[in-house]
Amino acid sequence: MSYKLKSIVKSDKSDKKYKATFINKETKKEKNIHFGANGMRDFTLINDKNSKFYIKDPKKRIEVRTNYQRRHSKDLETKSGKTGVSAGALSYFVLWTGKTFNAGLSNYKKKYKL
């Protein structure tokens, strides 16, 4: 199955940060995936000086990101992870590869050719 990313918006689930909507290119059906645990830090937040999760030391920020990516690399090995249509893949790339949400989204789109 092949999907097209339609949008990413703030999640309407209280325990999640974002909701990604995909469209199946064959069936035209929408698929929603909620990702990012609300209230938890991510690489975008530890780089944001206005965030309560901000980490001043750039080396420490990289260490936190590396540890997250090491723990969650298995999320990319699942069938849905390989296509990018999974909460694990979305979190890994959108929230943990770029210093900002937009940088992470760009990395995600580039990785999965969206």
pLDDT in tens, 20-71: 999 999 999 999 999 999 999 999 999 999 999 999 999 999 999 999 999 9
In this prediction the pTM is 0.93
Identify which of 53, 3, 58 has the alpha carbon closest to the alpha carbon of residue 31: 3
- 64-69 long-range contacts, Cβ below 8 Å, gap at least 24? 65/96, 65/97, 68/42, 68/43, 68/96, 69/96
How far is the CA of 43 from the CAs of 34, 84, 87, 95, in angstroms? 18, 19, 16, 6
The backbone torsions φ and ψ at residue 88, rounded to the nearest 5 degrees and listed phi first, read -65, -45
